[in-house]
Structure 1
Amino acid sequence: MDRRKFIKYASFTGASFTIAACTERKSNNPQSGVSPRTSPIAVNEPLKVGFVYVGPVGDFGWTYAHDLGRREMEVNLQGRVRSTFIENVSEGADAERVIRQLALDGNKLIFTTSFGYMNPTIKVAKDFPDVYFEHCTGYKRAANVGTYLGRFEEPRYLTGMIAGKMTKSNIIGFIGAYPIPEVIRGIGAFTQGLRATNPKAKLRVVWVQSWYDPAKEREAAQALVNLDADVLTQHTDSAAAVQLAEEKGIFAFGYNTDMSRFGAKAHLTSAINKWGKFYTHKALAVINGTWKPENVWYGIGQGMVDISPLNPAIPQDVQRLVMAKREEFIKGSAHPFNGPVKDQKGVVRVPQGKVLEDKQQLAMDWYVEGVEGSLPKGSLK
C-alpha cells in the first residue's frame, strides 16, 4: 500500500511562534492516558531529528509541505535541534532500512511521512525504545510511536464552494491519485461544497495511479478539459494541472501548498497543509521530556490545514461566503459531511442532524451524490 493510503492535511508561521508558547496540546487519542516519557535531552546537546519522505522535496506538493515544516521547526527552535531528511524513499524494505539507519545515526525523534511507512515504523520502534517516532496518516501507535494528520476535508469543502460559483460548464475535473479512503474522502468533501453553492454542478474523476507524476497528471488534466471541465482540482502532488489550466484559460486549485506561482490567473486557491508548528511542538516535547504517543487529527481551527490567499477573480460575495463557512469550521459549528449526505444512488448515508463520523471517514469507499462514474473495482486497499 502506497503513502497516505488512509489519510493524508492558516499556516503555522515561525515568526510568531515562541518556545514559551509551546505547551502540550490535548489529543483525541484513545491512548491519551499514557504517561509522557521523561527523558529530556541534555540542555547543551541539540536534538537530532530525522525525516523520511516518499517523494522529492521539489515536488511543490506533499513532500515539499513537510520539508517547509521541517525548516520552520529549525527556525523556531534555533540551535536546539539539528534535522536531516531522506527523500524518495519507497515503502517496504527500503523504508525500514532508512528509518533504522536514522535511529542508528542518533536521531532521537523521527517523522515518517507516508502511510506506507506505518509497519516499518512500528517494527523499527520496537528495536529503539528510547527513540520517539511520529507517523503521518497512520493508525498504529506504541509507547514510542505517535500518529498525526490534518483534516484536509475542511479546505476541500471550501474549494468546492468556490468551484460551484466559478464554473460555467457545470463540469469540474478531479485528478485522483489512488481510489483509497483518503482520496475518496477529499472527493466527497469537495463535492459537498460544490453542490452547496451549485446543485447543478457535476464532478468527473480521472485516476492516474500515482502520487507524483507530472506527465500523467497533465494528461489527466487534458482529458478532463476534453470532457468540458472548466475548473480543475487534484489529489496529486505536482502543479501540472494548474499549469495546464493557465495555458487553457480556465481555473484550477492547487493542493498541499500554495501553487499560485504556477498559474497566476488560473489558480483560485490551494487546500494547504502546514506542519511547522506541529513539528516544533513535538521536538520541544522530546527536549523537555513531555512527549507521549498521541493521535493528532487537526483542522483549520488548530492551524494544520487551510486555504491559501484567494484569487481576486473570485467575486467578493463568494469570498465572504467561503470565509464565513471557514469560520464555522473553526468554531466547530459546521462539518464537511453534515447530514443529509447521499451517495450516488440517492441512499442517505448521513441523516439530517448527524455528521459522518471519523471512523466512517477513514474507511470511506463510496462516492457522494454529484460525482459521475464509478470507483475502479479491485483497487481499494
Structure 2
Amino acid sequence: MLKESKFKNNLVTWFNENQREMPWRETSNPYYIWLSEVMLQQTQVKTVIDYYHRFISRFPTIADLSQAHEDEVLKYWEGLGYYSRARNFHTAVKEVHDNYNDQVPNEPQTFGKLKGVGPYTQAAVMSIAFNEPLATVDGNVFRVWARLNNDTRDTKLQSTRKAFEQELQPYVEEDAGTFNQAMMELGALVCTPKTPLCLFCPVQAHCEAFENGTVHNLPVKTTKVKKKHIKQKVYIVRNQNNEILIEKRTQKLLNNMWQFPMYEADGKEDIVTDLSKEIKFDNTPVFKLKHQFTHITWDIEVFMAQEKLNQETVELSQDMVWMALEDKELFNFPVSMTKIYKFISDHC
C-alpha cells in the first residue's frame, strides 16, 4: 500500500497547481455540483460546459427546476444524450423541493436514495459539496488506482469497485473533495488510457505499474459486449402545407422524445397501413446514418414520400402531429432525428 501522507501531498499539490478551470469548481452550491456530475457521466468536459451554463441560467435554483415541465427540461438537455439522466435528475430535484425545503440533503444515505443517484454520484457530490469522507471510483480512478498498485483485478466487477473504495478510504478522511477531484484529474490529464504521460506524473515514484513496466496492461477489464445493430427505416411525409409528420416515442429508449416516423426494417409495423394505403415512397433512401447508444447501434435509412398528403383525408394517431419546419425548436428531438432534420432542411 502507498505511503499515504506523501502520496496524497504530491497528488494534491499537483492538482492545486494544474487543475483545469471548470465552472462547477468555482461554486459551493451543491445543486450546481450535483448537476455537473450528472452531466459529466459518459460525456466529455468540453461538451458539458455550454450545456451547464445554459441549464443553470434557465433553472438557477432547485425550485425553478422542480416547477419546470419535463419537455422543457429535456429541451435544455437536447444533444447531450443519455436522456434518462435528465429525467432522473428532474425527478430527484422535485423530491428535494417537496421533502427537503429546496436543500440538497447533506447526509449521504438520504442523498443516495434520490432517483438516479448511484454510488459514484453520491460520493462525488457529498465529498465535493460537503466534504463527506467518501471515495469516488469512476473510470479515471479505476485506471489510476490499478496502475499505482499494479492491480490486475477486473474493474468491471462490483467487488473490485467495493475493494477500491475501501482502499481509498484512508485518503478521504480529510479534504475528501480535493483528493477525489485530484484523482479524477490525474486520470483525465496524465494517467490516460492509451498514452499515459508517466514522465510527467506527480506520483510516478509511488506507481508499481511504472516500476514493473505494466502500465499499458492496466486496468484489467472484461471484454465489452458486442453492440446489437438494428436496421431502422425513417419516413418523411409532408402535407399540402409543407408540414412534416412527426411522432412521440413510446418506447423506453428516448421515451417521450419526438421523431420522424421510424420502424424496424424487419418489423411488422408499416407506415403505409398506419396512415394511408395510397402513400408511396421512393425505393432508394435519400439519407443514411448510424447512431450509437451504449449497447445498440441504429443503422438508419431515410425514405421520402413521393407526394404530399392531404391532411384532411388522413387520421393521425394520438402520438402523431404535423410540424412546420420552423417550429422544430418547440419539440425535443434526439441527435439522430436532428441530423435527419438538418438534411431535410438543406436538401429537400
TM-score by length of 1: 0.25
Query: Which has a greater percent of strand?
Result: 1
Rg comparison, structure with higher value: 2
TM-score by length of 2: 0.27
- Structure with the larger RCO, 1 or 2 (CA within 8 Å, 6+ apart): 1
Query: Which has a greater percent of helix?
Result: 2
